[in-house]
Structure 1
Amino acid sequence: MLPKQVRSLVNLHNLNMKNFNANIIGINKLKHPSGLFSTGSICPEFLRKLKKNERKPLVTSINELKRLARREKKQRQMVKEKILQPPENGLLVKELIPIAHEVYTARTELFACVSQVVKSIAIYTCSFCGEVHVGHPPHKIRTCNVAGSPANKEHSWNFGNMKHILPLVESFHLYDRIGRAVSHNERLEVDRIPAIVELCIQAGIDISDYPTRRRVFPAYNIAGKIIDFEKRFPKEVAPGKGMVTSGFWGKRRKSSEENKLLDIQSADKLDVAVRGMEAWERMRSGASKLMQKYAVQTCGYCSEVQVGPKGHRVRNCQAYKHQMRDGQHAWQEATVDDLVPPLYVWHVQDVKSGKPLVNELKRYYGMLPAVVELFAQAGANITDNYAGIMREDVALPELDEEKWVV
């Protein structure tokens, strides 16, 4: 323990240092009204790319997963009925059906907006590492570090399209979401559709090309096994047979979507960008709400996604140590970023300058999802959700001033 007088001097010294730093920050704000240099700014780190031998972070902790597994094992040994709630019992969650329709409509509107904006804003992709850049000219940041890339790590840019900023994540379409999983021999017999569309179908969307089973009677869990009593009661005894319940709403939704597409094609670029930004936010927020009830699985080492309470059994994993798993995927709970991956690109603050981003100032540049960056360059306002990674509170120094920046 320090003497009382010494502790008082230490506390006084710390107080003086805090006041001195506060004054320095205030001076920097006056000199650079647009923001600060790296000193004094609060900028979170960018999402780190996982190595090949690293597993995705778990949504639920491993201790919690073990506790749930032990509890389920005890329940199976007791051989009693476990009451299941929708959607675990095969029934739909009625409160989430409008959200499923909203997500599906937002996805359709998003693709229409992106297809219009990419006609006026260039998309570049690296032929070696696949990195994407939005806007002209492409950046000069040397981050190409893959097999076959140049020694100076500079990117080899080619023109891209909307599939590079909206990567497609597919999932096996399940006719019965609580039925058995897709086996390896059925991998070519089951359709693969976009995972977010499969999530909307399981949550209540009816698409004629991808039929799904809608139960009238709930399923039960007895001793860890799903018992479906609906098999004993044929569908012909159910009331309302032959009635097309979704015909009127399907026709109305189809006509409204066609009208939206016509409006998007006739609108100017700014209006299209604003509508696209809103559609992107609605799609992600709605998908997050659906995933709170409807389970989605992802592989811990690769980008494979399966919508449903359990993953499939197709042995097509080529990620880290797949030989030890016989090609099986290491399934775990998925997040909305696995379902709708935000492909992060470098953020261009001054689009009108026409100067490319340089490698010497890469730690002062921000990043944004490719779709958000596309709409931002078209004139749409960016929400506060991305304020931290944009690094707009950091003033970009000139190349001759870099050595003076701490």
Structure 2
Amino acid sequence: MLQRQTRNITDHHEIILQNFLNLMDKNTVKHPTASFSTSSADAINYLELSKKLRKTERKPLVTSVTELKRKARMERKIRQRVHEITLQAPENGMLVKSLVPVAHKVYAARTVLFNCVSRLVNNIPIYTCSLCGEVYVGCVTHKIRSCNVAGSPSSKEYSWERGGVKHILPTVECFHLYDRVGRAVSHGERFQVDRIPAVVELCMQAGVDIPEYLTRRRAFPVYNVAGRMIDFERRFPKDVSAGEDIKAFGFWEKKEKPGRNKKSLDFPDDLQGLAARGMEAWENIQSEALKLMQKYAVQTCGYCPEVQVGPKGHRVRQCQAYKHQMRDGQHAWQEATIDDLVPPVYVWHVQQEQNGMPLVDGLKRYYGKLPAAVELFSQAGAHVGEAYASVMREDVVVPGLDEEKWVV
């Protein structure tokens, strides 16, 4: 009789322990930086944004060093043998036909995005710090004290001033290449080659034609023999006589920046419709430009924001970042990401319940963040997708200053 009761107690103990462990897994938020608990199994884990790199730190590599060394050894062995290396588009100078509509879509989305933002900033104010460049979207500036640069006050408070479109959508420029597979821009040509937005250059290399910036379109591919590129076409197309009327430079002339045509576009009059269209354009740029970058290579410097669209970077000696003396001023080129091409400026997200009330420094761990363009569209009435749910923290109830000590 005693053995049977002992066996029942043991069985019940195992069941209770298992139920307790399951309950703990459901009620505990898995992210180590979270400071709250919830009983919902579908709770969104808060994603910490990557911290700003120091001047001595290099950007994380997209491809590991081991993989880069393996590819370099393989290419070295291939170049030792004198034979033709078969190249696929776009490495052979030809266009990827399936990506030409994608390039036109990205170029049109960029035009819509800049026009929507330029109209919304007239109704929703933009502020930027004159010392550190911090950006804030909203009518009332926040009170968070995190301005920590040379010349900032001891209280680390921001020095706010009115901003504009360039603070919401910073433009990353690169050298325009007439021939994508040609030689790189040298240091002596840095003042002779136009610099245009990198997204526009990516669209042009993928199939978009802009009359002000000519791009070579080949009818026959180039060949690679023993590591050397061989082109059997003439230097200029047949319909152009000896390269006349082709301008490879002329940056001093007043040209309208590509992708800023406002007259041929029809936009809704209400702010919510304008914000919804701008949000759609932002998502199209983020998703479709990534498709282009998977085929058309984009290079960035590992220590500075310089970007060059093409299979290799330029040779202009203008890098002033960490240990540029060891590189003779040249950039440390590596594979770029979508954030290098379209840098997202993250700002503090203002929930609807806090509209009109400034964000305070004591509760900053409960606030979320969003890219500045997305935050602008959100305050104008656009719906923010689930892709930003982990950083905007809409599932967190911001407590009062007198309630913070009761938060678990």
Q: Same fold (TM over 0.5)?
A: yes
Judging changes above 3 Å, is the alpha-carbon distance between structure 1 residues 233 and 334 closer, same or farther for their aligned structure 2 residues?
A: closer
CA separation in 2, counterparts of 1:283 and 1:200? 11
Q: Which residue of 1 aligns with 2:37?
A: 39
Deviations 1:249-307 (A, max 9, x none): xxxxx9x97442xx22x521111000000011111211111111100000011100000
How many angstroms apart in 2 are the aligned matches of 1:279 and 1:234?
Answer: 35
Query: Secondary structure of the equivalent of 1:316?
Result: coil
Higher helix share: 1
Structure 1 residue 8 displacement after superposition: 9.9
Higher relative contact order (CA 8 A, sep 6+): 1
In 2, Cα distance between the equivalents of 1:65 and 1:258?
47
Query: Separation in 1 of the partners of 2:101 and 2:197?
Result: 19
1:215 and 2:199 matched: no
**Structure 1 counterpart SS, 2:182:** coil
**Match 1:70 to one of 49, 68, 73:** 73
- Aligned match of 1:93: 96
* Equivalent pair of 1:123/1:133 in contact (CA under 8 Å): yes
Q: Structure 2 matches for 1:3-402, cutoff 5 A?
A: 15=18, 17-18=20-21, 21=24, 38-40=36-38, 42-231=45-234, 235=238, 258-260=263-265, 263-264=266-267, 267-350=269-352, 353-402=355-404
User: Against the structure 1 CA distance between its residues 110 and 325, is the aligned structure 2 distance closer, same or farther, given a 3 Å change threshold?
Assistant: same
Write out per-residue CA displacement over residues 315-365 of structure 1, whole angstroms, 9 at most, x where no aligned residue.
Answer: 111111111111110100011111011111010012663111110111111
> How many residues of Structure 1 are paired with residues of Structure 2 in the alignment?
372
CA separation in 1, counterparts of 2:352 and 2:235? Answer: 66
Once residues 301 and 224 of structure 1 are traced to their aligned partners in structure 2, the CA distance between those partners, rounded to angstroms, is 29
Residues 1:9 and 1:73: Cα distance change in structure 2 (over 3 Å): farther
For the 8 Å contact 2:348–2:369, the answer to whether it is kept is yes
Mean Cα deviation higher: 8-17 or 66-75: 8-17
- For 1:124-167, what per-residue CA distance to the aligned partner results, in whole angstroms no more than 9, with x for missing partners? 00011000000010111111000000101111100000110100
Contact 2:115 2:262 in 1 (8 A): no
How many angstroms apart in 2 are the aligned matches of 1:9 and 1:187?
A: 78
What amino acid is aligned across from residue 223 of structure 1 in structure 2? A
- Which runs of 5 or more residues in structure 2 are unaligned? 1-9, 241-258
2-side partners of 1:353 and 1:312: how far apart? 47
Deviations 1:208-253 (A, max 9, x none): 110011111100111111111113997369xxxxxxxxxxxxxxxx
**Maintained 8 Å contact 1:365/1:390:** yes
Q: Is the 8 A contact 1:351 1:377 kept in 2?
A: no
Letter aligned with residue 297 of structure 2: A
> Alpha carbons of 1:25 and 1:333: their partners in 2 closer, same or farther (altered >3 Å)?
closer
Describe the SS at the equivalent of 1:368.
strand
Give the aligned partner of residue 405 of structure 1.
Answer: 407
SS in 2 for 1:116: helix
Partners of 2:299 and 2:285 in 1: CA distance: 19
Distance 1:164 1:236, change over 3 A: closer
C-alpha separation in 1, matches of 2:151 and 2:324: 24
Q: How far off is 1:392 after superposition?
A: 1.3
Alpha-carbon distance in 2 for matches of 1:174, 1:144: 39
TM-aligned CA deviation for residue 174 of structure 1: 0.3
Query: CA, structure 1 residues 215+139, in 2 after alignment: closer, same or farther (shift >3 Å)?
Result: same
Distance in 2 separating the partners of 1:346 and 1:382: 15
Once residues 75 and 378 of structure 2 are traced to their aligned partners in structure 1, the CA distance between those partners, rounded to angstroms, is 48
Contact 1:140/1:154 (8 A) holds in 2: yes
TM-score by length of 2: 0.86
Aligned partners of 1:37 and 1:396 also within 8 Å: no
Unaligned runs of 5+ in 1: 1-6, 27-35, 238-253
8 Å Cα contact 1:346-1:367 kept in structure 2: yes
Cα distance change of structure 1 residues 347 and 221 upon mapping to structure 2, 3 Å threshold: same
Structure 2: distance between partners of 1:48 and 1:13: 43
CA apart distance, 1:22: 6.5
When residues 294 and 232 of structure 1 are mapped into structure 2, their CA distance, relative to the original with a 3 A threshold, is closer
Distance 2:90 2:27 in 1: 57
TM-score, normalised by the number of residues in structure 1: 0.86
SS at match of 2:107: helix
Paired letter, 2:132: C
Secondary structure of the equivalent of 1:360?
helix
Q: How far is the alpha carbon of 1:24 from its aligned partner?
A: 6.0
Bigger shift: residues 289-298 or 343-352: 343-352
- Residues 156-192 of structure 1: CA deviation (Å, up to 9, x unaligned): 1000001101001000000001000001111000000
